[in-house]
Amino acid sequence: MPRLDPKPRSLDPNVTMFALDPESLDSTRHYVLVSKADERHGIEWYEYVGYEVETYRDGGPRFLLQKKGDKQRAGVTMERGGHVLMSVEGERFQEILQHGALGAGGLESTNVKMRRILGKDGRGNPDGESFPGSDEFVRGGRRTGEFATLNEMTLE
């Protein structure tokens, strides 16, 4: 008797138990999975900076590996593998990204610090003069490592 194996199907390596269905997401919000075990930057910290815990609901976000129309879980917190799904308005997320969650840090602060570290010339020399032999560190038309300029590091 011949075997009746199912037809092989391709598997997407990006589909994990944590993957969210892109069609179910609100494009005006930023989503993050937060560890329930993290005491320093866990659920309470994310709630403090403006994130909200997501619950199962009709028309709300859902995991890819979840049945559509699963009404039995309506109102239950969305959890997977010890993580809770949380979201924040897109404008607040951009504010956190640029200025930090508590108003200190973020990309703006990082750029200021990098300019101080790299100096006027972008090579780590506060006087703006070239280092002797610094051109030896150019590979393929781009400086590498500590000799890269701000533009070459694409900080902005």
Q: For residue 112, which phi and psi values (nearest 5 degrees)?
A: -60, -45
The pLDDT value given to residue 70: 60
Name the strand (E) or helix (H) holding 93.
Answer: helix 90-99
Q: For residue 79, which phi and psi values (nearest 5 degrees)?
A: -130, 150
The pLDDT value given to residue 69: 59
Q: Give the tokens for residue 86.
A: 């949380």
Tens digit of each residue's pLDDT, the chain (156 residues) = 888 888 877 766 666 778 888 888 999 999 999 999 988 889 999 999 999 999 988 888 988 877 665 666 788 999 988 999 999 999 999 998 888 888 777 888 887 777 777 766 666 655 555 444 444 444 444 444 544 444 444 443
The pLDDT value given to residue 73: 77
The pLDDT value given to residue 147: 46
Contact 20, 63 (CB under 8 A): yes
Where are any strands of DSSP class E within the chain?
A: 29-35, 52-53, 79-80, 83-89, 138-139, 142-143
The pLDDT value given to residue 110: 81
The pLDDT value given to residue 41: 86
The pLDDT value given to residue 67: 66
